[in-house]
Structure 1
Amino acid sequence: MMILAADPVGQLMAWIAMHGLLGLAALAVAERLIPVLPSYAVLVAVGIGAAHGEWSLPEALAATCAGGLTGCLLFYSTGMMLGQRRATALIDGSARLMRLPPASVQDIAHRLRAHQRRYAFIAQLIPVVRLIAPGMASLLRLRALGFIACTLPGLVLWNTLFIGIGLLAGRWADSVNASALALQTFIVLLACEILIVALWRWLATRHPDTHRNSAP
C-alpha cells in the first residue's frame, strides 16, 4: 500500500465540504473549464470524500452533475457570443492546451455535425473530447436545448461511474489517506485509458472510418 506523509486531497475535500454543495459544484465547473487534472481523478477524489463522510453519494452526484452541466453551458454560451472566428480561436487554443491534435478536432466536428444527438452523448464518455465538445457544438451552431439534452445523460453516466469507483475504493481500502488512495486509483484508471486508446487506434487502422469520404 502506498503511503504519503501528507494528505492534500483529503484536506482539499474537507475544505470543499466546508462550503457545502456549492463548493462541490464549483469544483465541477472548474474541472470543465480549467482541466488541470483529468476529470476522473477529480471525481474519484469526490467519491473518496463521500466514503469518508464529507457528503452523501446523492449529494455528490447532484452537485457535480449540476456543476458539470453549468460548465458545458458556459463554454457553449461563450462560443456563441464570440462569433465564428473568435470561437474557432478559443477551441483551437483549448485543444492545444489539452494536447488534442488538429485532426482530432476536425473529427469531433465531423461527428457532431453528422450524428448530433448520438455523438453529444458519446462525447461525454471520452476523456478530453468531453471537455471540448460544448465549444465545438457552439461553433457548429447546434441548438442548445437538443445538445444539452443529449449531453446530460452522458455526463451523469461519467460522473456516476468515477464517483462510484472512488466511493468503493474509499470503503474497501485499508488506507485512510485520501491522497494515496486517489493516486493509486488514478494510476489504475490511467493504465486502463492507455490500453483502451491503444486498442481503439489499432482497430481504427484496421477498419478505417469510410463514412468520412462522404462527409459534406
Structure 2
Amino acid sequence: MTLTPLVASTASSSDSGGSGSLLSGFSDWAVGLMETIGAPGAGIAVALENLFPPLPSELILPLAGFTASRGSFTIAEAIFWTTLGSVVGALALYGIGAALGRDRVRRIAAKLPLVQVEDVDRTEAWFERHGNKAVFFGRMVPIFRSLISIPAGIERMHLGIFTLLTLAGSLLWNSLFIGAGFLLGENWHIVEQYAGIFQWVVIVVVVLAVVWWVMKRIRTLRRRDSDAA
C-alpha cells in the first residue's frame, strides 16, 4: 500500500480551502519522494527547505516520522538523512554569504534607503558576541534557521564550528519532530498545526520589529534634518 492517498487525506483534513490543497499537494510530493528513494528523499526535502524557507520543515519532519512508522525506513535513517539535509542546505547558504562578503554588504547597505553602514557594523559586532548561540538556537526557529547561515558566511565564521553547531541544533530539532510524527502515526499533521502557530508568532514578531525599526529610523532622520536646518 502506498502512503500518498493516506497522507493526502490526513493533510487535507487538517485544513480546508486553498491552504489545505497546498498542504496536501506538498505532502503528496514529499511522501512520493520518500517512497521512491526512501529516507534520502526526506533529506533532499529538508535541504530544499533550508534553501527555500517557505517550504515547511514542520511538515516534512513529522511526515518523515509517519512514513518511518509505516515501515518504509527506520526512524534512525529518517533522523540521519534529514539532519544531513539540514547541514547541506545550511552550508550552501553559508557559501552564498561568504561569496557575498562583508565589503559588498556594506556597499549595498550604503545604497539602501533608511539603512546606514553603521547598521552593518552593529550587526557584525552582535554576531561576534552571539554568533555561536545564534547558529545553534537559530536552527530551531522558523525562517531564521535558513537565514542565519548567510550572516555566518558573511562573517566567515569558522566553518568547522558552524558545521558542528548546525549539526547539533538540527539533530535536536529534527529528532523532536520526527519522533512526534512517528509516535502520532496517522495523526502526524497535529504536529504541523501547532508548529504553524509558532511560525506565525515568529513572523508577527519580526514584522512588528521591522515596523518599529523603520519608524525609529524615520524619526532619527527627521530630527537630523531639522537640526541641520
TM-score range, shorter chain: 0.5 to 0.7
Q: 2:208 aligns to what?
A: none
Matched, 1:73 2:91: yes
Q: 1:31 aligns to what?
A: 49
Mapped contact 2:42–2:60 kept (Cα < 8 A): no
Cα drift, residue 110 of structure 1: 5.3
Closer/same/farther in 2, CA of residues 187 and 124 from structure 1, 3 Å limit? same
Distance 2:57 2:151 in 1: 19
Q: 1:113 aligns to what?
A: 128
Closer/same/farther in 2, CA of residues 129 and 88 from structure 1, 3 Å limit? farther
Distance 2:87 2:106 in 1: 22
Cα drift, residue 194 of structure 1: 4.8
Mapped contact 2:134–2:148 kept (Cα < 8 A): no
Q: Which has the larger radius of gyration?
A: 2
Which runs of no fewer than 5 residues in structure 1 stay unpaired?
91-101, 174-180, 200-216
Q: Give SS of 1:115's match.
A: helix
Cα drift, residue 74 of structure 1: 0.9
Describe the superposition over 1:47-75 as per-residue Cα deviations: whole angstroms up to 9, x where unpaired.
Answer: 12112222210000000001110111111
Moved more, 4-13 or 151-160: 4-13
Distance 2:107 2:42 in 1: 30
Mapped contact 1:14–1:54 kept (Cα < 8 A): no
Distance 2:168 2:54 in 1: 24
Q: 2:157 aligns to what?
A: 142
Q: Which has the higher contact order (CA 8 A, sep 6+)?
A: 1
Describe the superposition over 1:70-127 as per-residue Cα deviations: whole angstroms up to 9, x where unpaired.
Answer: 111111112212333656899xxxxxxxxxxx9xx97975543212222221111211
- Aligned-pair identity in percent equals 24
Distance 1:82 1:168 in 2: 43
Q: 1:177 aligns to what?
A: none
Mapped contact 2:42–2:81 kept (Cα < 8 A): yes
Moved more, 155-164 or 189-198: 189-198
Which residues of 2 match residues 169-188 of structure 1 at below 5 A?
A: 169-170=184-185, 173=187, 181-182=188-189, 184-188=190-194
Q: Give SS of 1:145's match.
A: helix
TM score, norm. by length of structure 2: 0.64
Matched, 1:48 2:62: no
Cα drift, residue 24 of structure 1: 2.4
Name the one with the larger helix percent. Answer: 2
Describe the superposition over 1:2-24 as per-residue Cα deviations: whole angstroms up to 9, x where unpaired.
Answer: 78489652564144331233322
Query: How many residues align structurally?
Result: 179
Which amino acid is the alignment partner of residue 32 of structure 1? Answer: N
Closer/same/farther in 2, CA of residues 87 and 24 from structure 1, 3 Å limit? farther
Which amino acid is the alignment partner of residue 154 of structure 2? Answer: L
TM score, norm. by length of structure 1: 0.67
CA RMSD of aligned residues (A): 3.5
